[in-house]
A and B are shown apart, each in its own frame.
Chain A
């Protein structure tokens, strides 16, 4: 397993290299320099600035030195936030976004699996239709619509919950977590229902029942493991989606996290920040995809053994 993980990580290196290269040249081929600000900047100041950020060197040299820095974990200085490095900015936003993503994932897994498994136990009855209709609403109600509506209802009309910030007032983490997690809860509900229905028709479930096991034991011990494998494989992509979703949710709820930084950087044309954050996000997503893949393999004894055997 360890060697398998190492092998997969090794395969991720060229992918990351491609990401860095493409992003770098994309960003540097963008029309308009980073200092085309509102006010005209005197030429000598511009020159000094460009020298400071190595922009006066040939492109390939800039690329190589950037690559060298990235390998050492240095993502360079920010163009717009003078005096601050990209590393510092990521460090400032990461805990907030990580916490938001974590809570959203809890919502997604908790609600999603419960709803999906409940629905699968009595297909085509009310016990199936109600949670699955709710899931359909969750899928068709994107976060940028759900968030404002929740704010409108629970924040403005009922005045139950705070509508912005993160960790400032008690309860201000509830709405953003629900907003971000809902769509994924809906997907996971559908996935786990599908997976469970598939497994529940298997012969080995009938065997388990014929042995006189109680229904909770049949579900928990025999069905869940196979039924939730699709959910486990979805965790990697879901994580990537949560990062993307955090752009919107952090904007709506004015949360000082990575997502909001990224959108602001996009508007400010803060190229080093965009570049650095893209590299950072890519690395994270690749690692999470790897983790969810490995978890799915580890859950399947046959695949687990094949990997062990191949080492």
Chain B
């Protein structure tokens, strides 16, 4: 029995630069108790589809241009605001992507939990505060909040990201909805937390008998949780079917491309490791003052971002550095490049020591080691053209002069796959993937020997991610690069690295050759991490979830 039946939904955005067809003729249905996953890259219209059902889109610019969405025989798209409130309160609940911003920082979580009950649009269903509190505490307990009675009166900032998402889930379930919309509920979370939250959603779905629309870009996550899958791209449905048929017998080009783009399996590129240490790091420590806490004895307490790390990187090697948020992996990279002051320890580049050099003395070394940053939106100066960005390192390090700089920049653009004609354009005129190409071009402009890539593909969609990874591998080969590849995404690291290090709270907990470590992790933290990775294969993924 379908509880939600969407037909021919069209949502257009009317912007200054014309009409954007965010959702164009989308139809689907959800049966009670089942899980429908809507999969797509950014801009595919997957979130807009669901928000339009609950009238949560900003209007203007959004406008619903057509279609119906019947829930219990009532069209959600045309019902009165009062009826919509009724549905929001009784029937359909949402879990949003970012638990950090989706809870009101000014109100206690308890107050936010009980709101739908104490302000219920049906006067007869309004509950007393004390009764609502009872139910909220019971739900908080169910979603795994320890000591819910006292946590009830805490503010959101007193919870970690994972705990906040648990609160959000409790909040969604408090009205006993029949349909739950989960909009990328684990995207903002670390992989181990993601595994816990997914398990929780699955369990609650069964005990509360609720249908779920699960929006995600991550096919691995979808493989384990969905009964039916809807693939969206550029506002239209590309394919729909049950999970196994989408993953194993897809007929659609786009779906196939999406599945093929997922980095899986071991490294493709042959190892080019030479028996010569290019980078030697010994007992490196980087500590910061913790300004958020009061001084003790006139000193700030220390955040030990990197705590006694020693490592070697051979010439030609790609070393993967894996860690969850706050593990200190970015700081380690910046410490090696001398972008943040080292508290203790020694960093060597070849035979020479980098630690202790003044900024002026470091200039010749800067040419030989470079960095690629995570966010292609923030890593390019918005007021400089591609030409200016790429020519700056060439001219500054004397690798080009006024006469040949143009041709050198053109060559660079060829190398990273940018059309030469875009030379005079500004960063905001490019897509995320193209921007990352510009940033990579800047990094290889000085013909460096060593590059640290700090999550270079995390901000990109999966198909773009695959292209950029291939570009990086090509460049490593053609330029004989040595690389430290920092990422939270274990599949990406496995795909690209010769050797892997696992960083946890500023300390290396395990390291080894990629495939050896994958086959036989020793440290419990590594084991848990590897167990938590979703696999984009329904049978394997379900088996994995069973085993946790």
Contact = CB atoms under 8 A, between A and B. Distances in A.
Interface of A: 202-204, 206-214, 217, 221-222, 225-226, 299-302, 305-306, 309-310
Contacts of A217: 115, 119
Contact of B121 (A210, A214, A299, A305): A214
B101 interface: yes
A141 B18 CA distance: 40
Given A213-B115, A214-B119, A204 B105 contact: yes
Interface string B53-69: 01010000000000000
Given A202-B101, A210-B96, 5 more contacts: A207-B96, A221-B107, A225-B106, A301-B155, A310-B294
A205 B114 CA distance: 16
B86 interface: yes
A211 B168 CA distance: 11
Contact of A212 (B88, B101, B104, B112): B88
26 contacts: A203-B96, A204-B105, A206-B56, A207-B104, A207-B171, A210-B56, A210-B88, A210-B93, A210-B94, A210-B96, A211-B89, A211-B115, A211-B175, A212-B86, A212-B87, A212-B88, A212-B120, A212-B175, A214-B85, A214-B119, A300-B106, A301-B105, A301-B108, A305-B158, A309-B294, A310-B294
Contacts of B88: 209-212
A115 B56 CA distance: 25
Nearest to A225: B106
Contact of B89 (A206, A212, A226, A301): A212
A205 to B, nearest CB: 8
Most chain-A CB neighbours within 10 Å: which of B87, B88, B175? B88
A207 B103 contact: yes
Contacts of B171: 207, 211
User: What does DSSP make chain A's interface, helix, strand, loop or mixed?
Assistant: helix
Given A202-B101, A211-B88, A301 B115 contact: no
Contacts of B101: 202-204
A67 B83 CA distance: 70
Contact of A211 (B107, B108, B116, B294): B116
B313 to A, nearest CB: 41
A203 B112 CA distance: 14
Contacts of A209: 56, 88
A251 B120 CA distance: 55
B452 to A, nearest CB: 33
Contacts of A225: 106
B527 interface: no
Interface of B: 54, 56, 85-90, 93-94, 96, 98, 101-108, 112, 115-116, 119-121, 155, 157-158, 168, 171, 175, 292, 294
A306 B157 CA distance: 11
B92 to A, nearest CB: 8
Contacts of B89: 211-212
Nearest to A310: B294
Given A202-B101, A211-B171, A299 B106 contact: yes
Contacts of B96: 203, 206-207, 210
Nearest to A222: B104
A91 to B, nearest CB: 41
Contacts of B102: 203-204, 206-207
A203 to B, nearest CB: 4
A221 B120 CA distance: 15
B106 A301 contact: yes
B269 to A, nearest CB: 41
Given A210-B94, A214-B119, A302 B155 contact: yes
A202 B107 CA distance: 14
Most chain-A CB neighbours within 10 Å: which of B98, B106, B158, B168? B106
A226 B106 contact: yes
Nearest to A207: B102
A310 to B, nearest CB: 5
Most chain-B CB neighbours within 10 Å: which of A206, A222, A300? A206
A309 to B, nearest CB: 8
A301 to B, nearest CB: 4
A212 B82 CA distance: 9
B106 A213 contact: no
B291 to A, nearest CB: 11
Contacts of A211: 88-89, 93, 115-116, 171, 175
Nearest to A204: B104
Contacts of A203: 96, 98, 101-102
Nearest to A201: B58
Contacts of B168: 207
A229 to B, nearest CB: 9
Contacts of B116: 211-213
Contacts of A206: 56, 96, 102
Nearest to A211: B116
Nearest to B60: A124
A206 B116 CA distance: 14
A184 B94 CA distance: 41
Nearest to A224: B106
Contacts of A221: 107, 115
Contacts of B155: 301-302, 305
Nearest to A311: B294
Given A209-B56, A301-B155, A222 B107 contact: yes
Nearest to B155: A301
Nearest to A229: B106
B152 to A, nearest CB: 14
Most chain-B CB neighbours within 10 Å: which of A206, A211, A221, A309? A211
A49 to B, nearest CB: 54
Contacts of A202: 101
B170 to A, nearest CB: 12
Contacts of B120: 212
A300 B157 CA distance: 11
Contacts of A213: 85, 115-116, 119
